[in-house]
Amino acid sequence: MSSRFEPRDPDWKARCLASFDKQAICKTLGIELTAVEPGFCEMRLPFRADLTQQNGFFHAGMVATLADNAGGYAAASLMPPGADVLAVEFKINLMSPAKGDVMIARGRVVKAGRTLVITQVEVSMLDGGVEKDCALMQQTTFCAMPK
């Protein structure tokens, strides 16, 4: 399920970056947008001890936050001018502890509908230079147009 997508908005990149810039949460947590292409987005979150659960690894909520964000902008890249992306729902399997130096989430669109865009997001941990699978998400996003 990989495809090449044609963006519907010539300014898709500027629109995505402007929206990302308005997300206060990303500055607070230290989330970096490291790549965005039509139908694809990568985000990274360097490890911080103050974002951990009881065992000292990234909290599952941080994994979900990064994955939801990467999937959201993968979807947003294919939406028309003026559109805002909203997450309808997501499901995430946490396969291994989020242990390491940098968390990486890569979101890919698997279905670009007019109203709904479906994504899949793979999350990995960069740990001592080695990247290891961490979590897997399926996400449904909604294309909200200005009223």
Q: Which of 143, 140, 39, 138 is nearest to 85 (CA)?
A: 143
Here's the x/- map for a copy of itself, 23-52, by CB under 8 A: it reads as xxx-xx--------------------xxxx
Binders of a copy of itself among residues 110 to 139 (CB under 8 A) are 110-111, 113, 115-116, 118, 120, 122, 133, 136, 138
| CA nearest to 70, candidates 134, 14, 141, 6 | 141
Is residue 68 part of the contact set for a copy of itself (CB under 8 A)? yes
Kindly state whether residue 77 participates in binding a copy of itself, applying the rule CB under 8 A.
no
Is residue 69 close enough to count as binding a copy of itself by CB under 8 A?
yes
84 scored as a contact of a copy of itself (CB under 8 A) = yes
DSSP letters, 13-69, are HHHHHHHHHT-HHHHHHT-EEEEEETTEEEEEEE--GGGB-TTSSBPHHHHHHHHHH
Amino acid present at 51: L
Asked if residue 70 lies in contact with residue 77, where contact means CB atoms within 8 angstroms, the answer is no
The phi and psi torsions of 60 (rounded to 5 degrees) equal: -50, -35
As measured in angstroms, the least distance from the Cβ of 86 to a copy of itself is 8
Residues of this chain that bind a copy of itself (CB under 8 A):
1, 19-20, 22-25, 27-28, 49-55, 59-62, 64-66, 68-69, 84, 86-96, 110-111, 113, 115-116, 118, 120, 122, 133, 136, 138, 140, 142
